[in-house]
Amino acid sequence: MTAVTIPQMPMIPKSLGLNVVAIDIDPDTLDIKSHETIPWSPETKVLVFSHVFGSRVDLTSLHSLCKSRGVLLVSDEAECYSPHSQPLLPCDVTLRSHGLIKNYTAISGATAHINDPRLLLKFRAVHGTWRVSSSSSYRLKILKSSLLIILSNPTVYGLVLKFLSLLSLSHDSLITSLLRGFPGPTFLSRIKQRPCPQIVSSVLRLSLVYTNFESPSKRKINSVYLNSLLPSKSLLGTKVSEHNHWLHPYIPPSKSELVSKGLKYNFDITGGATQLVCIDSECVEAERFMKGVVYLPVSEEMGKEEIGRLAEVCKGKGRKGGYEVGKVFWGAAAVGVTVVWVRWGVLRSLVTSIVVNLWMLIKIGAVLFGGLTYYVGRISRRNYERKGKSKLLKHLKTGAKVTPELRIQEPESPQEENIILTGATGFIGRVMLHTLLQHSTQLNIKNVYVVLRSKKDKVASQRGAELLTSSIYSGLSTSIVTILQGDVSLPNLGLKSRPSTKITKVIHLAASVSFTQPLKDAYACNTRSTLNVVELCKSLEAKLCHFSTAFIHNDAKVYKQDLGKGWDAKAVQKSIETDCHYASKLLKSYPNTYSFSKHLTEKLLSLPGTSPKIPPLIIRPSIVGPSILHPTPNFSGSKGTTVTAGSAYYLSSLGSSVWHLPPNKASVVPVDLLVYYSLNKLFFENAEGTFNACFEKGVEGFEWEGFLEVNSEIGCLGGKDRGRVVLQEEVLCRTFSEEGGNDVEYYHDLYPVFLYNLRLTYLKLTNASKQTLDRFKKVRNFVDLPMLFMPFTKREFEFETDFKYSIEGEMYMVNCARAGSKFVGFNDEYKNVNVTDSRWSDLFWCLTMPVGNFWIRLVGFALVKILRMTTANVTVDVESFSDYARSASPDSKLILCPTHRSLFDFMIVSFITFSLPELKIYNPFIIADNQFSKLPLIGTICKGSGAIFIERGKGSKGVERAVKQVMCQRPVEVFIEGTRSRDRRFLKPKTGFLRAMLEVGGERDYDMLPINISYERTPEQETMASEMNVGQKKGLGIGGLVSWGWNVLSGKVKLGRVHVTAGSVVNMSKKSNLNHVAKQVQQQQMTGVRVSGYHVKALQQSLGIDEEVIKTSLEDLKVPFWEGDCKLKAPQSKNERWTLSLAVAHAVAPHVKSQEWADWLCSSRLPPPRNTSESVDAFVQAWERAFERAEHAVETAIEKLVKVGFEVDGLKVEHVLGYVEDRVGRPIEEEAVKIVLARQKRESRRVAQEQEPNAGEALAKSGAPIPTGQEEAFGAWGFADSKFVLDGKTVTLHSDRYSLGHRRLPKLVDFLEKEMKTKIDLARSVYPLPERVRVTPSRLPPAIKEGLMALFGVECVKTEDVERVRHGTGHCLSDVLKIRTNEVKRAPDVVVYVTSQDTVVELVKFAKSQRLCLIPFGGGTNVTEALQCPSYDVEPRCIVSVDMRRMNKIIWVNKEDGVAKIEAGATGRTIQEELAQMGLTMGHQPDSYEFSTLGGWVATRASGMLKNKYGNIEDIVREVVVVDGSGEIMWQHHKEEDQGKSFGRGSFGMPELKDLVIGSEGNLCIVTSCVVRVRKVPEKTEFSSVVFNDFGAGLGFMRAVQSSGLKPASIRMMDNAQFKLGQVFKGSEGGSGLKKVVQGAALWWKGIETSSMVAVTLKFEGSAIEVDAQQKAVSAATKDWGGLAGGGENGKAGYELTFAIAYLRDFALSFGLLAESFETFVNYSKLNVMVECVKQRVREAHVERGVCGEALVSARVTQLYEDGACVYFYYIMDSSGLKDGNRTFSEIEEIARGTILENGGNLSHHHGVGKHRAKFVKERVGGSVVDVMRGVKKEIDGDNVFGVRNGVFE
């Protein structure tokens, strides 16, 4: 070791037991003086050369010297800090740092470059076993380094120096001690740590960055310049060719003096900054200069002058300057502080006041807002509860009803009628004219003369023309109408000429219905004009029909028809025409001048002088309201009646209406009733006298207060914020006071007008739309109407009348309100109420809605935002809910039954009930799947908003519990289809939950409200379409939701329109037929389905027919069409188009001829209509064509499959779909496969029954069926219906069995090519499956065959080649290759399927007597060539393969003791399934468990993945029952009857039978059954995963978990290559962009590099306590070893990947990629080294043999023990170009096995040896042990009946 280095350096070799010898160095060259001076010894192992003070010494000659002596040369270049790009000096190991020691190395330390590959391998292996330093140490380093970088700034540094000198502290020692950290005693343990991942990654980054650093040339120049100024004697390294001084070494006369002088002159001259020391005082030169050296600060920034000053200081002179920064700084700091201090006062108060005030404002605002919403919310709720059922909703759809029917009765002998009509432009006048025209023929009316005056520049004819062109007269003949210019206020009505025809009747309607008119004006309009009309009638001798008012009396209790005597009319008339004195007095007891003038008129008409000749008819209506039926429903004229106007006022000014109306019955009469009544009186009855045309006691059900409520509801449905309506109703509205009742002026100005103007101003200021302003202005004249109306509303009236009509008051109230809304221009449409309209404040809105708890409000708030962002609008057909409002019974429980097409459905229905309280449906309980409850936060929100979770598959208990919870008043939401329809078809309804409700609910009745939610696009549409491709549903996950949320925010989610509509209520009770009920509900839902252009487009693309045809047929099929949102992205794929097209499946279904397809389209379809249109036929035929095409494509695919050897019975949907070429679209194809397969199976059964009536019998004899071989693939691993398929470059596992099935893997080929550095030729088929199996023919003598058949039955004896070959092979590469290349040299001559222990005994005895060799066959899954037959020269006897798989029963189970006896031929799958039914598990789960058998496990000494919990097979098996070579049953110390005795551990002075049999590989006996340990199915199963930066850290973690004593049932670690493969297996759905970003960020934060990271997957099983404890232990170890948790989903995926890998190997074979796995056990101390060595050695062997590309070798640690672990290797080789790829592969595999053994690994951990590794056994176990075993064999099987010859039994 060179003498100058850091003091701790010698400790390292010393700790390894090496001696340290220091070598002196030359102060000029800083190199070893002469190589001769090196004290070499034979034991010299390493030479450590330190390049000090930034020097870089050439080591070329020293390196060759070391090499020649076998000494390792370590070059410590840490201080050279030269850019990375500089070539390394020649040496074996280089230590380097990247950047200035002071700063960057503080973060990362240094790196070691190991040039020798073998050394590197060993180093890595050792290094890998060290513990990882904690990430907190990294953070500390970051902090320190940041401080140092700040400190490097001269100003700051100057300040620190000054500060330290003020405190009389030595900056030198303080800073030095802080800078470098090589602590004393803990030094060794500290460096024997691996840096935590963050450090590793920062070193990597730094080394890359540092490569780009420019060489600090300026500093070099400065350094050279300084050298020139100083005496050369006092300088070090003057002869070094290359140096990089960052601190200039200099030897002054006095070290301490120069340091303090430096400080004085502001130079940071230090003595120990580098911490270099001379390690041995014997080295004179080094000792000398190290004692006196100081370091002069030379930086890039220094100019020549500065350097000169430094040199002067060194020479003992010195002048101040340069780093006077300290001083300057102090001065500047003082000034700065003063300035800031002075200013800060102002600034501070300003900032403080802003912050404080803002905060205060926020707080006040929050309190006010909170208080306001609380207050409004409470009132809103109170109102909601008080009001009961919504009147509006109830009557939205009802057609108006009047009894008796409205009709004009014909007079017996109708005379010719010519009528004069006044007031025809008024409200009643228009209806009167309409009715006259309508019934003109009936009434024999020849002419109607309408008297009109000129008005606003329009003459009568113009006004008349306008009148007659109004829409109500369209369709009526107006030819009998003549417009007469006139004026009722004038004598003779101002008529220029009278009509030429004889006038028979005059109907006088002209009046002024103003309640504020001065008396004189009212007299003129109402009385004088009537007197003029009377005069005219007199002269024409016509009958007068005069319209008065029912409120003609002053304060009577009952308003009689007879006026009574009362006052003197003539006197009153006189008074009005003069001073009004008398009249005014009388007026006071009348409500207004209108009723007074009408009273006066009537009185005058009864007086002799003023009465008409013909007794007149006087009709007295009460308040005239809009029509019910005629001329149109809700007709209210052009100006609005008083009722309409009031309603309009209230509606348009919901924010400023000011009057409460009292709860009195309204005396209103519909205009059409009035007119019909009057005309019947006039024409039919020819009545004379006075008649009250109104209801006797007002309208039943029509109350003024209720009328206002209906108006508010209309307003809210029209988009008014309910909160605001409530607020203004509460705060602003006044109840009328009797006192102020008539003081119109006072109220008018003070209150309503003021508020009206205020609101108008607000609307103007807030830029309200023109429509709103117009609407508002239109009601200006009505602001005080409610007040003027007060005399008619403040009390209830009673009239004497013969009015016989009756109407439903509530309904009429809704009519009036709707007329009002129409009048004011509101959209009177309740079919499309938009619930996402923008509001003043969504927050206020959601907080003030009447119903809903905190969560519901929160969800409401979030939803309104989300819906606005994602949808064009969400509309509700409020009208469709009116059936429910009418028919639902208050005692029944309401069940909302929405369609289920999206996860949105859950929210949409609740949202609607929340945002439309007018529906009067309380927020429902939602029955949801339990998986929602597991989503963090979402679960809580769902629960809070009323979700009740049921766990599927947990039987009826869960449902019952849920039902009990929902049995309160709140409605419940149930999806009748149970699950979400994934293609919009209506699914078969499910009745389970309904049944449970009926059972729990007793005698209760239920109202089921069908709801349809139509989406243009569902949020899941694309996912569903892609799920169809891969054939599996994605689970719910928070990740998916988060990324969906992100897409919403970024505006990527566009759903178009959403529409909700309800159907008619379906009743359900205990007596109901549930299937019928469910069907009815579904049919109601169907009526609500709507489609848009978007769907039509999809239909057009799917069916290939014209859009117009589709539209017309949809119309004919009664599927409502929507306008839709034109901005939607067109459907992308066929699947997606079908999911859209199937929205109309229910409408098409009844017309489709094929029953199967019709059922599929819609199982609860309606019967087909009798007549259809042409377009419907064309439409349906297009559907049928698609079905036929799909069926045809499927039939062709099945044919193909049958041709290659499949049987129709074994085919699965996925399988067939993989072969379909003519693609129609997944949903249709899938069904086509089912239909065709079912059809073909039916057909083949029928044929079979006809041909072999007794076919079933032979099988019936035995328990299990003979394995047909069809389930299992031949020549490849796994099930026949599961295999990888290539499509372009995308690989897909076609399988329904695995979660990975159907996932597209577009990157797999690229991954292999990249990792193996090869190009895979996807077109070539190197090892295809053989078209025909060829093997040496069976040599079984016919007699023996017959003997076997006689003994075991024909069906149990097989000699077909396929059977023989399969039974002579297992699943190792050589087996599979042999099958594929038809190179199986010898196969068993016959296969016998044994069915019981007795048949085994019989077979063995038969074999013994006939000299046959028996080879037991389990599942044939071994990977050791164990089933390969010995060659004829070794084994001349015929070979019988004994297939055990029909012996697959569980014989008995003793649950109490946890033991079971199981037949040896049972496969893992069977055992697992059957035990699970009893709630038990054996817990043995090798990756082959689907096919391998219990006997096979015993024979091979297998180990399963859950070994940590359940143990290996030897731990699980308690006893074995075997049949030996002479056919004897051996069962140690038990008989079958001993079932009650103990089966467990015993000590018998000898090994137990099972110990001999476990691992015997078919050499000794046949295992017929085993007693095994069984346990209860674990209470809890969880998965987890963790990633680590590298293999060593992962292993450290695994060991930590092992030593915690809390290891999970399974813990496996995949190395980096396997981890990457796992990522590739995530396929195209490998997580959303956001998820990847988050994952990337987490890895970055943890410093985990993807290029080295490894993944550990974990499976926890056991009780909740056990699992929790294990999870805690795992978390602690994760933290300790710098891991990052990867979640349960990844953990699960990791385990599932194992199953796919087995398929992958055989798939890759087709392209010439040979692969195999081999495993071993190794102690921990050797594990890392062994893994590295095997990998390295395989790679080398690969290269040595010239194999194409690179070897892909990866390792996985699978089973853990206290002392070591099981390691699996996977090796893949590209065989292209090789003559004999298989041989090369075997050679390399053997080399790998050798390397394993060399490095301390075992021959095998659990696969065994078979013939594959037989040659290694003897050496591993020792000859004598082998001899003992052979002796045992002789005893058990003396005749070698079991001559399989595995392992040592050659």
Show the tokens assigned to 560: 């009689």
Q: Is 1523 helix (H, G, I), strand (E, B) or coil?
A: strand
Interface with ligand FAD, residue 1275, by CB under 6 A: no
Interface with ligand FAD, residue 1753, by CB under 6 A: no
Least separation in angstroms between residue 1557's CB and ligand FAD is: 8
Among 864, 1062, 1161, 1844, binds ligand FAD (CB under 6 A): 1844
Interface with ligand FAD, residue 1718, by CB under 6 A: no
Residues 1674-1713 touching ligand FAD, rule: CB under 6 A, are 1702
Among 175, 717, 1460, 1499, binds ligand FAD (CB under 6 A): 1499
Q: What would the DSSP string read from start to end of 1343-1404?
A: HHHHHHHHHH-GGGEE--HHHHHHHT--SSHHHHHHHHTT------SEEEE--SHHHHHHHH
Residues 1534-1563 touching ligand FAD, rule: CB under 6 A, are 1561-1562
Question: What DSSP designation does 1335 have?
Answer: -
Q: Find out whether 1154 is annotated in a ligand binding site.
A: no
Least separation in angstroms between residue 1464's CB and ligand FAD is: 4
Q: Find out whether 1493 is annotated in a ligand binding site.
A: yes
Q: Find out whether 1566 is annotated in a ligand binding site.
A: yes
Interface with ligand FAD, residue 1525, by CB under 6 A: no
Strand order in the sheet with 72-76: 46-50, 72-76, 93-96, 111-114
Interface with ligand FAD, residue 1298, by CB under 6 A: no
Integer Cα distance of 267 and 322 in angstroms: 8
Q: Find out whether 316 is annotated in a ligand binding site.
A: no
Q: Give the residue with the Cβ less far from ligand FAD, 866 or 1376.
A: 1376
Integer Cα distance of 369 and 1731 in angstroms: 68
Integer Cα distance of 1717 and 1751 in angstroms: 13
Measured CA to CA in angstroms, residue 1710 lies from 411, 1633, 1704, 1715 at distances of 102, 34, 10, 11
Q: Give the residue with the Cβ less far from ligand FAD, 679 or 1708.
A: 1708
Q: Find out whether 486 is annotated in a ligand binding site.
A: no
Give the per-residue contact string, 216-235, with ligand FAD (x = CB under 6 A; - = no): --------------------
CB-CB contact of 1646 with 1790 (8 Å)? no
Show the tokens assigned to 1150: 């009844």
Interface with ligand FAD, residue 1423, by CB under 6 A: yes
Q: What would the DSSP string read from start to end of 1444-1512?
A: -TT---EEEEETTTTEEEEETT-BHHHHHHHHHHTTEE-----TTTTT-BHHHHHHHT---TTHHHH--
Q: What are the φ and ψ backbone dihedral angles of 1006, each rounded to 5 degrees? A: -130, 140
Among 1444, 1574, 1654, 1714, binds ligand FAD (CB under 6 A): 1444
Among 47, 540, 1415, 1667, binds ligand FAD (CB under 6 A): 1415
Among 1218, 1483, 1495, 1662, binds ligand FAD (CB under 6 A): 1495
Q: Find out whether 1490 is annotated in a ligand binding site.
A: yes
CB-CB contact of 1091 with 1122 (8 Å)? yes
Q: Which residue is nearest to ligand FAD (CB)?
A: 1496
Interface with ligand FAD, residue 601, by CB under 6 A: no
Q: Find out whether 390 is annotated in a ligand binding site.
A: no
Interface with ligand FAD, residue 473, by CB under 6 A: no
Least separation in angstroms between residue 1405's CB and ligand FAD is: 17
Instruction: Summarize the chain as % helix, strand, coil (round to 5).
Output: 45, 15, 40
Lookup result for tokens 């028996």: 1414
CB-CB contact of 57 with 25 (8 Å)? no
Among 1084, 1164, 1292, 1422, binds ligand FAD (CB under 6 A): 1422
Question: What DSSP designation does 448 have?
Answer: E
Interface with ligand FAD, residue 676, by CB under 6 A: no
Interface with ligand FAD, residue 1135, by CB under 6 A: no
Integer Cα distance of 1016 and 202 in angstroms: 51
Of the listed 250, 449, 922, 1768, which one is catalytic?
A: 1768
Interface with ligand FAD, residue 22, by CB under 6 A: no
Which residue in 642, 1028, 947 sits closest to 823, CA to CA?
Answer: 642
Least separation in angstroms between residue 1770's CB and ligand FAD is: 12
Interface with ligand FAD, residue 1486, by CB under 6 A: yes
Interface with ligand FAD, residue 1807, by CB under 6 A: yes
Q: Which stretch binds ligand FAD (CB under 6 A): 888-896, 1185-1193, 1262-1270, 1420-1428?
A: 1420-1428
Q: Find out whether 1502 is annotated in a ligand binding site.
A: yes
**Residue 42: is it exposed, middle or buried by C-beta count within 10 angstroms (0-12/13-18/19+)?**
exposed
Measured CA to CA in angstroms, residue 701 lies from 80, 636, 809, 812 at distances of 101, 21, 4, 9
Q: Find out whether 679 is annotated in a ligand binding site.
A: no
Interface with ligand FAD, residue 1806, by CB under 6 A: yes
- Please count the residues of this chain forming the interface with ligand FAD, following the rule CB under 6 A: 37
Q: Find out whether 1489 is annotated in a ligand binding site.
A: yes
Q: Which stretch binds ligand FAD (CB under 6 A): 708-716, 762-770, 1491-1499, 1817-1825?
A: 1491-1499
CB-CB contact of 755 with 749 (8 Å)? no
Q: Which stretch binds ligand FAD (CB under 6 A): 410-418, 463-471, 840-848, 1494-1502?
A: 1494-1502
Q: Find out whether 62 is annotated in a ligand binding site.
A: no
Pairing of strands 1438-1443, 1390-1393: parallel
Integer Cα distance of 446 and 444 in angstroms: 6
Q: Find out whether 1492 is annotated in a ligand binding site.
A: yes
Interface with ligand FAD, residue 1388, by CB under 6 A: no
Interface with ligand FAD, residue 1833, by CB under 6 A: no
Q: Find out whether 1563 is annotated in a ligand binding site.
A: yes
Interface with ligand FAD, residue 1371, by CB under 6 A: yes
Least separation in angstroms between residue 1554's CB and ligand FAD is: 12
Integer Cα distance of 431 and 816 in angstroms: 16
Question: What number of CA atoms fall less than 13 Å from residue 1328's CA on the CB side?
Answer: 8
Least separation in angstroms between residue 1814's CB and ligand FAD is: 12
Show the tokens assigned to 1768: 């699996």
Q: Find out whether 269 is annotated in a ligand binding site.
A: no
Least separation in angstroms between residue 1720's CB and ligand FAD is: 13
Residues 330-369 touching ligand FAD, rule: CB under 6 A, are none
**Which spans in 967-1092 are helix H?**
992-1000, 1021-1030, 1038-1049, 1074-1087
Integer Cα distance of 1235 and 1157 in angstroms: 8
Interface with ligand FAD, residue 1757, by CB under 6 A: no
Measured CA to CA in angstroms, residue 498 lies from 570, 695, 1501, 1661 at distances of 30, 38, 125, 107
Q: Give the residue with the Cβ less far from ligand FAD, 1569 or 1652.
A: 1569
Is 1768 designated active site?
yes
Integer Cα distance of 700 and 664 in angstroms: 10
Q: Give the residue with the Cβ less far from ligand FAD, 1371 or 1437.
A: 1371
Which residue in 1398, 1517, 1389 sits closest to 1447, CA to CA?
Answer: 1398
Least separation in angstroms between residue 1837's CB and ligand FAD is: 11
Least separation in angstroms between residue 1516's CB and ligand FAD is: 12
Beta bridge partners of 619: 547, 691
Q: Find out whether 1754 is annotated in a ligand binding site.
A: no
Integer Cα distance of 1277 and 1265 in angstroms: 22
> Which residues of 406-494 form beta strands (DSSP E)?
417-422, 445-452, 481-485
Least separation in angstroms between residue 1417's CB and ligand FAD is: 5
Measured CA to CA in angstroms, residue 677 lies from 620, 681, 1722 at distances of 11, 6, 108
Binding site listing: 1487-1493, 1500-1503, 1561-1567, 1705
Residues of the shown chain interacting with ligand FAD in the complex, contacts defined by CB under 6 A: 1277, 1370-1371, 1415-1423, 1426-1427, 1444, 1464, 1486-1488, 1492-1493, 1495-1497, 1499-1500, 1502-1503, 1561-1562, 1566-1567, 1702, 1806-1807, 1844, 1846
Residues at the annotated binding site for substrate? 1705
Which are the catalytic amino acids? 1768
Binding site for FAD: what residues are annotated?
Answer: 1487-1493, 1500-1503, 1561-1567
